[in-house]
Every structure is written in structure tokens, then in C-alpha cells.
Structure 1
């Protein structure tokens, strides 16, 4: 079994640690979209969304596909889709504890 580098794991998890990035991932969970489509769907700012897309792409969470003058973004693979669904399942189980937690340690 391959030993996982903890720093690499932290970088991957960082990709999921921002509200806008989670909104982007939820937006493209089922269907690939362009930046403009994502901006419209999550009511964001194009520059900000583009920066988050670059982060997600750099973390290996999403991929971009060129078609004409557009880039279509999608989740990298089925495992990322399953991970997002797993987050939802775990959240259902621990939601009450999370809502009571007032500690944010960095």
C-alpha cells in the first residue's frame, strides 16, 4: 500500500475548504459547465470564480475541456462525485454537533 504524504492530503482537502469552491463543485457535479454558466448559477463574480476554478484544477479535483472559445469544467472523475456525496451523508449524521461547534482552529 502506498504511503500517503500528509501535506499532499492537506492540499487536496484544502480544495474542498471554501464555500465558493463547494458551490462550484455542486454546480458541476452532474453536468460540465463554462465559467459563465457557473457564475450565473451561483451568482458569483467571474474573476473570483476563475481563481477558485484554477485552485480546484491545481488540486486535481476538476478538469477543463476546450471547445471553441469556451472551457467546460467538470469533476475529475466519479470518485470526486462520490466524495461529495459522502460529505453530504456524513454531514447528515454530524450536523447537530457541527452547528454547536464554535471552535475554528487553523
Structure 2
């Protein structure tokens, strides 16, 4: 297996570094959805959601497919779904520590 360079890791992790992107990932973790469905579910706006979807695609976390006039978004693969579940598992253990972190403000 080849070693992944640090810049690539940072770009990948960047996909998880915004509240809207996490909301989008949670929204599509079980079913593919259109932009309109995602916007409705997370109560966002179309422009912002579209920008974050582009970021998530650029980070390699999601893929899209076109069907007629609709574009459907879904997680790239099962490994991304497992990673999201792993985040939740780890957060259950450390959520109190995160609450006391003064270095990061949401």
C-alpha cells in the first residue's frame, strides 16, 4: 500500500470540517438524494448546499449520478459510511472533552 501524503490527508479531512457538510453526509448516509431533497432536509439554501456538495465531491467523500434533469448524491462507498459511524462511536466516548475545548468555536 502506498503512503498517502499529508496534504492529501488534510484535503480529505477538510470535507468533515463544516457543519453543513456533516449535515449533508448524515442526510445521504442511507439513501441517495437530490439537491432539493438535501436542502429541504437540512433546512439550508440551494447555493450553499451546492457549494458544499462540490467540496464533498472534491474531497472524494461523495459521488453523483444524473437521471434526467435530476442529480442524485450518495456516499462514495461503504467505507465512508463506516467512517461516519466510527465518528459517532468515538464521539460518544469523548463528547465531554470536546465541550471543554476552548480552541475551536462552532
Structure 2-normalised TM-score?
Answer: 0.96
User: Match for residue 41 of structure 1?
Assistant: 41
The alignment's C-alpha RMSD in Å is 0.6
Q: Distance in 1 between matches of 2:82 and 2:103?
A: 28
What are the ranges of 5 or more consecutive residues in structure 1 without an aligned counterpart?
Answer: none
User: Match for residue 91 of structure 2?
Assistant: 91
4+ residue segments displaced more than 4 Å: none
For 1:56, what is the secondary structure of its paired residue?
helix
Q: Distance in 1 between matches of 2:25 and 2:98?
A: 21
For 2:29, what is the secondary structure of its paired residue?
coil
Q: Distance in 1 between matches of 2:4 and 2:59?
A: 15
What are the ranges of 5 or more consecutive residues in structure 2 without an aligned counterpart?
Answer: none
Structure 1-normalised TM-score?
Answer: 0.96
